[in-house]
Amino acid sequence: MLSSVMPTYFNRLPVAFERGEGVWLWDIHGNQYLDAVAGIAVCGLGHSHPAITKVICDQAAKLIHTSNNYEIPNQEKLAKALCEISGMEQAYFCNSGAETNETALKLTRLFARKKNIANPLVIAMHNSFHGRSLATLSASGTSRIQIGFEPLVSHFEHVDFNDIGAVKNSVSLNKESVIAIMLEPIQGDGGICIASNDYLQQLRKLCDENDLLLIFDEVQTGLGRTGKWFAGQHANVLPDILTVAKTLGNGFPIGACLARGKAANLFGPGKHGSTFGGNPLGCAIANEVIRVIKEKNYCENAHKVGDYLRHQLSTKLKKYTGVLEVRGKGLMIGIQFDRTCIEIPRLALKFNILINVVANCMIRLLPPLILTQSEADELITRLDHCLHEFFNTKYIPCYIQ
Ligand SMILES: Cc1ncc(COP(=O)(O)O)c(C=O)c1O
């Protein structure tokens, strides 16, 4: 049947889900899957979490949406909670990761105006991913998402990730125009590339010395994914702008751009806005997500179970010469292959697990933060069977069959 949906997603997997509970999903035929994708780092509390279901029902029965023309107490409460866990000072609310990064980039323009810089340059990283809007795809360091959308938004320079010399060099070559440095502390779509603590600390110093804004895109890493509320906290580094989305709504679309110090108070009335951003329902859900993560200490769980999963995978998958490395932080884990593995998510359906591939050669695991050790064991067993089949049969990609 010809679909009426624009075909922006290639190779959709032939499975449709009907319901979920915790780390489990059931398809329309009643088959049960262990979900190690979590809606791409979104459903941190798993599926159909009772507290989230309850807050959605209670808030929806009272009030879903008003407008940012009116006071929204849930929004005030959420801004306070986010600032408390992040060390930031202010929040702006939107609906997605791309929008929060777009907001961050608009803030860099206002900061530049204040400094009388006419053509402000943002240094971003090769291999990065910041979203699909025109400015955020231009900020991203991957041509894959840019091709066809030229002319790109100008004034981004991309340098090698985790290479302080490359950033310093770019700052000194662009002294008159550079205004900000933007990065993901752990590159997600780029292949679970982890910035060292030292690198992040040196970036902070460089930004302080040169009056630049340091922007951490924590859309994927934020809210417990890496074992702390935010990945920058592993290095004790506070950015000037911090962007979050994904886990914040556990599936409800909400994002936030947090700012502090010289990045705070740049927006005035009329400078930015969103119809849906920060509405009573979205904020009630996000407040509950933060409350539950805090109450159940799911950051610590992500740290502990993530460490366990990574170590077990490193040991168990050693027997496959095609597996080069298992790396990650918390429950953000990559399994690096020596060959393309883009067809593995499809094969994994046979073993009733949901996994994801990035950078062509890496399985990315992003299970819910609530994953238990025994569920991690189950994931390892199923993944092992899946890799056994992958490496021991000539797996023919379905689009060739
Ligand atoms: C680090 C990062 N930034 C931004 C985005 C874009 O988020 P969204 O798809 O919600 O616009 C993503 C999405 O995967 C991401 O991983």
- Domains of the chain in start order, with CATH, are 17-48+297-392 (3.90.1150.10), 63-295 (3.40.640.10)
Atom of ligand 1 nearest to the CA of 101: 4
Q: What's the sign of the alpha-carbon dihedral 14, 330, 196, 177?
A: positive
Mean pLDDT calculated for residue range 204-208: 98
Atom of ligand 1 nearest to the CA of 128: 1
Residue 397's pLDDT is 53
Distance from C-alpha of 260 to C-alpha of 301, rounded to nearest angstrom: 29
Q: What separation in Å is there between the alpha carbon of 302 and the centre of ligand 1? A: 20
Atom of ligand 1 nearest to the CA of 253: 10
Which residues have a catalytic role annotated?
A: 129, 217, 246
Q: What separation in Å is there between the alpha carbon of 252 and the centre of ligand 1? A: 14
Residue whose token pair is 């060739």: 400
- Residues with CB under 6 Å of ligand 1 are 40, 96-98, 101, 129-131, 184, 188-189, 217, 219-220, 245
Q: Which amino acid is at 137?
A: L
| Nearest CA owner, ligand 1 atom 8 | 97
Residue 343's pLDDT is 94
Mean pLDDT calculated for residue range 331-353: 97
| Nearest CA owner, ligand 1 atom 9 | 97
* pTM of the full structure: 0.97
Distance from C-alpha of 158 to C-alpha of 142, rounded to nearest angstrom: 10
The pLDDT confidence band at residue 342, using thresholds 50, 70 and 90, is very high
Residue 399's pLDDT is 45
Mean pLDDT calculated for residue range 164-170: 98
Q: Which two tokens stand for residue 344?
A: 């593995």
Atom of ligand 1 nearest to the CA of 132: 11
| Nearest CA owner, ligand 1 atom 16 | 220
Mean pLDDT calculated for residue range 266-270: 97
Residue 2's pLDDT is 78
Is the Cβ–Cβ distance between 130 and 182 less than 8 Å?
yes
Distance from C-alpha of 310 to C-alpha of 327, rounded to nearest angstrom: 7
Checking if the pLDDT of 390 tops 70, the result is yes
Q: Which two tokens stand for residue 256?
A: 């936030």
Q: What separation in Å is there between the alpha carbon of 137 and the centre of ligand 1? A: 10
